[in-house]
Structure 1
Amino acid sequence: MYYARMKTKWGKFYKLGYTSQDSLEERLNYGEKNDGGLVDRVLLWAWSDSALHDEQRLHGLFHNKRVFGKYGKFHNGPLYKNGQSELYAEDIFDLDPECTKEQVKNSIKAAERIGIEYRNDPIGDHPIWRVVGYVLMVALSPLILLRKILEETVPAMKREKERILELERKRETDIAAAVLEIKRKSTTYRDGAGSNGSCRIFDRAKSENAWKKSLCDWLNRALTVEPEDMTAEDMFRVVKGNFSPATIDSVECLVLGDAQGGRHISALPECLYELRGLRSLHLQRNEIEHLGDKLGQLVNLEELKLGGTALKTLPAAIGQLKKLRILTAWWSDLESLPPEIGQLSELEGLDVSGCENLKVLPSEIVQLRKIKRLYLPAHDDFKLTAEQQRWADELKKSGAEVEHYW
């Protein structure tokens, strides 16, 4: 997680986000954007196991203070296509001692000059508003004074810190207990390989840290399959033996692979489809060639990431995922998309860029009207029909980002 002050030719802005890079400069320079030089001061740089979730939650809390809106893309503005929508004109975390009202006012005016109507515009300069402001100041001054006294006399920050530490201690205790229990029950277990039902030994010493990480993720309602020598089916078999069905149903995020690497998984266990509460499923950079029709059972799924897999098509059951908002399959072996994709009425992001075997889209694709990000292949064999081209043009006019990538 990072929070930094950015110095641009339009003024000073504050940027909130997360990254896997070693520094904010590397994050902003990624893809030869060369925006690292805009960093004026890093105000927060902290590790978080759930950085993406925390960042999105914070952006949601401060959504009315964003300068450029959630999907802003203004060519003349700062950080174009590099986190522009994560900019704030004011110090939302109150971490910058140098931030002044004049600075905030100038930054808002600069944003307005490049064509943006600031969402949280302050009271105007009309005389009537000055009178109203004066009356409110007189009426509220006792309350403001009382609040200041309370903030100075009651160590609220200290109590909050102690509360968080206590929660962390309890969480560590829960993890330790779960580790002991799962180690005790998983000395040997069925591997499922071969007709003789052979068993394999779980290496406790080498894998204890990996198990702790998995259990941390599990308690955070996310499950990352660890250690590396365990298959997805192995992990589910052991976990299901130690957690109640209610706990399993509470898992919202399952990570079997990410943008950096996968686990060489070629097939998914049937028990995966029992995670009915799943909202996010990451299968990127694995060797998966097939998704079963039971995929439609994951009715709460909002995000499905299949980039870098060996999938050639998607099952028709994908049309049952009525809550799906994000579908990515970049650089996969996709040859076609099913017509049922047109039933994903809530879909906001579709990424099939770099899919060299994908030549056409189903005609039903034009039924998707909520698309805000559409990334398509750029090779010569990929074509849009006249109707699909009109659909893509309409999306652009409504503010969506439609791009072709290799």
Structure 2
Amino acid sequence: MQSIQQFPFGMRNMGSLVMLNLSYMGITELPATIRILKNLRILRAFGCQSLEKIPSTIGDLRSLQVLDLRYTSVNVLPDTIGDLQELRSIEVNGSKIRELPASIGMLKKLKILWAVKCISLEEIPSTIGDVRSLEVLNISGTRIVGLPDTIGNLHELKVLHLDQTRIQKLPPSIGMLKRLEVLTLENCGLLAEIPSEIKDCTKLKVL
């Protein structure tokens, strides 16, 4: 499928489509007309290495629950991502994402955020603390140097992977993560210490 560089079909009559799997296609961008797919729940573009741009019209996919952009060349998500109120999962592993939009804080149903091996990602927006439904956050293999204090607002968070990052310290607010069960910090050579507040994570099973 790598030879396919643009959509070989129109979408005007595809309004009932629930899943769109574009994995391993050679497309360079998603068309703005993707907004037509009002019933789309799953959008996968895994391994589309030439895919660089996501149109702002993706914000019109109000039924979208899963967004899979793993191993693409996408380096930014549009601010309109915050309009996807049904979104449960964002996966951008191995992509060229440089930053996450502040509007991510508007995703009230998001449960899973994976950004593993996004080597250009250096910061998590403070608005992540507004995603109160988040259960799994995996930012291993990024250039993250710290977590915002608002991380403590993620009261549903159960799994936090920070392996192979440049993180230097954990905020004391991490002690507010009462449901945290797994915290991994393998090969975090710049991390000097773990705050004493970690003792307040009473459900922690793996550290």
Please tell me the TM-score bracket, short chain as reference.
Answer: 0.7 to 0.9
SS of structure 1 residue aligned to 2:77:
coil
Inter-CA distance 380–346: structure 2 relative to 1 (3 Å threshold): closer
Aligned-residue offset at 1:352 = 0.6
Aligned to 2:98: 312
CA distance in 2, matches of 1:376, 1:311: 17
Question: Is 1:251 matched up with 2:40?
Answer: yes
CA distance in 2, matches of 1:226, 1:330: 18
Contact 1:341 1:364 in 2 (8 A): yes
1:280 to 60, 66, 88: 66
SS of structure 2 residue aligned to 1:233:
coil
CA distance in 1, matches of 2:57, 2:90: 17
Aligned-residue offset at 1:349 = 0.6
Aligned to 1:230: 27
What one-letter code is carried by the residue in structure 1 that aligns with 2:76?
H
**TM-score, with normalisation over the residues of structure 2?**
0.74
- CA displacement, residues 125-183 of structure 1 (integer Å, 9 cap, x when unaligned): xxxxxxxxxxxxxxxxxxxxxxxxxxxxxxxxxxxxxxxxxxxxxxxxxxxxxxxxxxx
Aligned to 2:76: 290
- The 5 Å alignment of 1:96-175 reads none
Contact 1:358 1:377 in 2 (8 A): no
Question: Is 1:345 matched up with 2:124?
Answer: no
What one-letter code is carried by the residue in structure 1 that aligns with 2:159?
R
SS of structure 1 residue aligned to 2:151:
helix
CA distance in 2, matches of 1:224, 1:270: 19
CA distance in 2, matches of 1:269, 1:364: 29
Aligned-residue offset at 1:351 = 0.5
- CA displacement, residues 304-329 of structure 1 (integer Å, 9 cap, x when unaligned): 11111222221111111111111111
Identity level (%)? 27
RMSD: 2.8
CA distance in 1, matches of 2:141, 2:69: 17
What one-letter code is carried by the residue in structure 2 that aligns with 1:342?
G
1:300 to 63, 80, 86: 86
Aligned length: 177
**TM-score, with normalisation over the residues of structure 1?**
0.40
What one-letter code is carried by the residue in structure 1 that aligns with 2:22?
V
CA distance in 2, matches of 1:282, 1:211: 21
- CA displacement, residues 2-38 of structure 1 (integer Å, 9 cap, x when unaligned): xxxxxxxxxxxxxxxxxxxxxxxxxxxxxxxxxxxxx
Contact 2:56 2:79 in 1 (8 A): no
Aligned-residue offset at 1:233 = 2.6
Unaligned runs of 5+ in 2: 10-14, 188-207
CA distance in 2, matches of 1:298, 1:383: 32
Inter-CA distance 229–313: structure 2 relative to 1 (3 Å threshold): closer
Contact 1:342 1:367 in 2 (8 A): yes
Inter-CA distance 263–273: structure 2 relative to 1 (3 Å threshold): farther
CA distance in 2, matches of 1:348, 1:381: 21
What one-letter code is carried by the residue in structure 1 that aligns with 2:28?
T
Max Rg structure: 1
Contact 2:144 2:165 in 1 (8 A): no
Aligned-residue offset at 1:364 = 0.3
Aligned-residue offset at 1:279 = 0.5
Aligned-residue offset at 1:288 = 1.6
CA distance in 2, matches of 1:405, 1:220: 41
CA distance in 2, matches of 1:404, 1:262: 30
CA distance in 2, matches of 1:338, 1:379: 16
- The 5 Å alignment of 1:9-88 reads none
Q: Which has the higher contact order (CA 8 A, sep 6+)?
A: 2
Aligned-residue offset at 1:227 = 7.6
What one-letter code is carried by the residue in structure 1 that aligns with 2:131?
L
Aligned-residue offset at 1:251 = 0.8
Inter-CA distance 295–254: structure 2 relative to 1 (3 Å threshold): same
Aligned-residue offset at 1:340 = 0.6
Aligned-residue offset at 1:350 = 0.5
Question: Is 1:387 matched up with 2:173?
Answer: yes
Inter-CA distance 227–335: structure 2 relative to 1 (3 Å threshold): closer
Aligned-residue offset at 1:290 = 1.4
Question: Is 1:331 matched up with 2:128?
Answer: no
CA distance in 1, matches of 2:23, 2:171: 45
Aligned-residue offset at 1:384 = 0.7
What one-letter code is carried by the residue in structure 2 that aligns with 1:321?
L
Inter-CA distance 211–364: structure 2 relative to 1 (3 Å threshold): same
Inter-CA distance 250–335: structure 2 relative to 1 (3 Å threshold): same
SS of structure 2 residue aligned to 1:364:
helix
Inter-CA distance 269–343: structure 2 relative to 1 (3 Å threshold): same
Aligned-residue offset at 1:223 = 0.4
CA distance in 2, matches of 1:233, 1:316: 22
